[in-house]
Structure 1
């Protein structure tokens, strides 16, 4: 085999290995990708029915019910609400009326079963996804009031 053919074969094998590595990296990335949805989007059916996703907003005041390690609460974006069930220890900063992002999946109907709950960090912080959801809900309320 000529040296020119050996170089072409080597480059071809190198490209094939690179393509295979890229496939495996992108496949792993796709399986770990988790999207964020607001309670309004979940109520509209935009969230995946069988996959994991995040829902965020404010913890509705008066909605937290604890039973041992199981906690049920309602996440709202001031327009719609999503009931959430979580089994485990909540973050110390988890409080009613404060921002929260929960990761999990829908259990049949409207109940969101969370595998992880994230709360705000300090007095001035709210998860960016939750803040965006609240801003969008406020804009929708203002738009609805103006159109009346």
Structure 2
């Protein structure tokens, strides 16, 4: 009986750690992040942007962007990239990860934010999101 309860508990834990979206929702969110990537790519000095909507057991509903530039203002570009993700309609959005690297100056910066814990600060800095970040039941 104890083994059965332990197995049931493990199944519940694993189910809770699974993707937050269906494959169709994840694909739609990737499309929205591709639009964010196009917006970021238009900024001065940007040479490449890779944007991924990651939704798996390790990284639920996370927008992950890598930006490469030449002779850019790394902190300003990092901030504007986070702002662009925040202003997007990607939902659910549990986390935002952005890395900006200036390939000419050999300078980079990285930020990883948890929307669950940083939502108030993000809202104060960037304004209200056009859609809820988290599902209603969270």
- Which one has the largest radius of gyration? 1
Higher helix share: 2
Higher strand share: 1
| TM-score, scaled to structure 1 | 0.28
| TM-score, scaled to structure 2 | 0.30
